[in-house]
């Protein structure tokens, strides 16, 4: 404990803006804002785009798997899926053939919208990556993974 019984900070920091968590949140907020802007031109939100990307990578996954893969609750995922389905970007059977999971698939329109939006999203990520020296990218990615693992998200 520090003076006055206050806990010691995990590292030297002049104020809250110098803490790792604050900096991660600031970077995440900047990324979200840039992605929102880029995806608006394609009629998609960030959660919708994330679902389309995951469905392109893993066709037929369930709504629960989509929720986990896009870091949202099942309820939020269901709302996103319903919107994508109403827009004709994904299909989902009314009843399950096996078990309870209802597999979700991209439609042709969903794949076309994803491919159109993908370039805009990749341009945002490129802007982020270009801001750091290329030799540090692998270390940054490893450090971010280790931080997530340390907090139990592994």
Dmax of the chain from CA atoms? Answer: 64
Mean pLDDT of the chain: 89
- Please tell me the distance from the alpha carbon of residue 51 to that of residue 59, in angstroms, as a whole number: 11
- Span 1-47, pLDDT tens digits: 556 677 776 667 667 777 889 999 999 999 999 999 999 999 999 99
- Amino acid 99: pLDDT: 60
Which of the residue ranges 7-11, 97-101, 143-147 would you say has the lowest mean pLDDT?
97-101
With 0.75 as the threshold, say if the pTM is over it.
yes
Strands 90-91 and 105-106: antiparallel
Position 93 pLDDT exceeds 80: no
Q: 67 or 18: whose pLDDT is higher?
A: 67
- Please tell me the distance from the alpha carbon of residue 67 to that of residue 81, in angstroms, as a whole number: 10
Which of the residue ranges 1-5, 67-71, 116-120, 142-146 would you say has the lowest mean pLDDT?
1-5
Q: Are the beta carbons of 109 and 74 closer than 8 angstroms?
A: no
Most confident of 33-42, 53-62, 94-103: 33-42
- The full set of domains in the chain, from first to last, is 15-126 (1.10.10.10)
Q: 107 or 62: whose pLDDT is higher?
A: 107
Task: Provide mean pLDDT across the span 114-127.
Answer: 96
Phi-psi region of 59 (alpha: psi -120 to 50; beta: other; left: phi over 0): beta
Position 55 pLDDT exceeds 60: yes
């Amino acid at each position: 404990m520090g003076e006055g019984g206050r806990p010691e900070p995990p590292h030297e920091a002049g104020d809250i803006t110098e803490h790792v968590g604050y900096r991660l949140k600031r970077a995440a907020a900047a990324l979200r804002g840039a992605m929102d802007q880029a995806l608006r031109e394609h009629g998609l939100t960030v959660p919708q785009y994330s679902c389309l990307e995951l469905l392109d990578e893993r066709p037929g996954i369930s709504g629960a798997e989509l929720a986990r893969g896009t870091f949202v609750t099942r309820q939020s995922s269901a709302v996103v899926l319903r919107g994508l389905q109403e827009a004709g970007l994904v299909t989902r059977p009314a009843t399950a053939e096996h078990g309870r999971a209802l597999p979700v698939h991209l439609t042709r329109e969903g794949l076309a919208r994803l491919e159109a939006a993908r370039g805009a999203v990749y341009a945002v990520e490129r802007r982020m990556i270009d801001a750091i020296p290329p030799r540090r990218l692998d270390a940054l990615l490893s450090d971010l993974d280790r931080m997530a693992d340390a907090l139990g998200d592994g």
